[in-house]
Structure 1
Amino acid sequence: MIAARLAEIRGRIDAVQRSWDHHVEIVAVTKAFDPPIVDAAVDAGCHAIGENYAQDLLSKRDVIEAFAADRRPRVDFIGHLQSNKVRQLAGLVDRWCTLDRASLAKEIAKRDPGATVLIQVNATGEDQKGGCAPDDVDALLRTCEDLGLVIVGLLAIGPTGQPPEAAAPAFTTVRRLVDEHDLDVCSMGMTADLEVAVACGASSIRVGSALFGPRPGGPVHQQSIERG
């Protein structure tokens, strides 16, 4: 079932008329699901998983570390990250995707020297969203470089409660910033707005429910901002 859904998502991506010729990576968002979902995702052909919560990711540690080196999925942390959680996750996270402030950059550099990171950009201006302002990207990039972090790209989330096409201005802004700073990864777009993201130049999308179906409930998940 997951393999079939993955093929459907790839079909949605391929159907988008765009001027971008780069490959679009699909990150499987496994948040709220039990650890065996990681095995199922990898068996279906997913090469990267995304997790929003430290506790969820730590619960999957044994499954992730049991993979042979040539099958282990890349682990992206894609949720709001408190500095005091970095120590617990260091060594398990391969790509910190929501770095949005200098203090967090310092903590990641301390706990995971030379780590690979994406800077999260709040391109919609919504107070409830994480991310630095577009005008602050340059300064945060310099801070990360000075700390020895490897910045590979930017991440963004479309506007909350709006139709998919409303995300286009924010996504266009983020793509421009990626190009201006000569970065490789432009992570934007989820299940509902992936076509808009791809048309605007996303090189990576984050998909959960379209792959795995409805997520299990739970207060911590119901109170979160949807990222997959």
Structure 2
Amino acid sequence: MTAAAGSIAERVAAVRERIAGACARAGRNPASVRLVAVSKTFGPETVAEALAAGIHEFGENRVQEALAKVPAVAELAAQRGLPVPTWHLVGHLQTNKARAAAGAFAILHGIDSTRLLQVLDRAAAAPVRVLLEVNVAGEPSKFGFAPEDVAGAVALAQTLPHIEVAGLMTVAPRADDPEDVRPVFRRLAKLARGLGLPELSMGMTEDFEVAIEEGATMVRIGRAIFGERG
């Protein structure tokens, strides 16, 4: 599905309407779904426009890009009387960026190995909230734990003083029909429930409504808010 036409504010309103519709179908409160606007490659001015449109949480894929963008957005927010946003790392985290990421983001979505958990624990000065990335569909090109390895990773994390596992995250396979990936979201939700983990980061522009119907608590939306990337 392509991004909606119009201003960022109009796109945000359209996405929120779709979130509300999916929640209504699932018997959920729309407030139970956090909208994370994925702002990778878009500059501080564009992020500030989304902030003014009511988006409070933003996702970045690369640590280095975020390290420059976060203070620039904070400065614009202060100048314009806007709230300081919350930042999520939604992309793959390399171990050599662990220390920087631990200090720059409120939550890290793409934690995909026990080694990375251990590196983060050693690098962090304070507890870090993380989501474990699960490669539900077993795609060779994707990062993430195999579903059968998640319980062991959670058990390890519980021994690490600077790690708080808040939930699970996945990137579904690309599909022409979002219904085709519903089983992926359903399996992740079942896995999270079995482990007592409350947060589920799943669903992007193409499939977020199905993800919400299956229990997503965070959806990561880029194109439907910001438009196509150059």
| TM-score relative to the length of structure 2 | 0.88
What number of residue pairs does the alignment pair up? 216
1:131-173, Cα deviation, whole Å (9 max, x unpaired): 1011111111111111121111111111135531111111001
DSSP-derived class of the 1:78 partner: strand
Q: Distance in 2 between matches of 1:64 and 1:82?
A: 24
| TM-score relative to the length of structure 1 | 0.88
CA RMSD of aligned residues (A): 1.8
**Which amino acid letter does the alignment assign opposite residue 142 of structure 2?**
K
Runs of 4+ in 1 over 6 A off after TM superposition: none
Decide which of 132, 136, 140 is 2:145's aligned counterpart: 132
Q: CA deviation at 1:41?
A: 1.9
Decide which of 12, 24, 46 is 2:33's aligned counterpart: 24
Q: State whether residues 80 and 98 of structure 1, in contact with CA within 8 Å, keep that contact through their aligned partners in structure 2.
A: yes
Q: State whether residues 39 and 63 of structure 1, in contact with CA within 8 Å, keep that contact through their aligned partners in structure 2.
A: no
Corresponding position of 2:205 = 191
Q: Distance in 2 between matches of 1:139 and 1:162?
A: 34
Corresponding position of 1:61 = 70
**Which amino acid letter does the alignment assign opposite residue 21 of structure 2?**
A
DSSP-derived class of the 1:3 partner: helix
Q: State whether residues 102 and 128 of structure 2, in contact with CA within 8 Å, keep that contact through their aligned partners in structure 1.
A: no
Between 1:179-188 and 1:19-28, the stretch displaced more is 19-28
Q: CA deviation at 1:200?
A: 1.0
Corresponding position of 1:3 = 9
Corresponding position of 1:77 = 89
**Which amino acid letter does the alignment assign opposite residue 6 of structure 1?**
V
Decide which of 54, 61, 68 is 1:52's aligned counterpart: 61
Q: CA deviation at 1:184?
A: 1.8
More helix as a share of residues: 2
DSSP-derived class of the 2:71 partner: helix
Between 1:178-187 and 1:132-141, the stretch displaced more is 178-187
DSSP-derived class of the 1:146 partner: coil
Between 1:2-11 and 1:12-21, the stretch displaced more is 12-21
Q: Distance in 1 between matches of 2:72 and 2:171?
A: 28
Q: Distance in 2 between matches of 1:90 and 1:179?
A: 26
DSSP-derived class of the 1:139 partner: helix
**Residue ranges of structure 1 left out of the alignment (5+ in a row):** 217-228
Q: Distance in 2 between matches of 1:43 and 1:65?
A: 13
1:80-100, Cα deviation, whole Å (9 max, x unpaired): 111001123331111011111
**Which amino acid letter does the alignment assign opposite residue 18 of structure 1?**
A
Q: State whether residues 130 and 165 of structure 2, in contact with CA within 8 Å, keep that contact through their aligned partners in structure 1.
A: yes
Q: State whether residues 38 and 63 of structure 1, in contact with CA within 8 Å, keep that contact through their aligned partners in structure 2.
A: no
Corresponding position of 1:225 = none
**Which amino acid letter does the alignment assign opposite residue 146 of structure 1?**
T
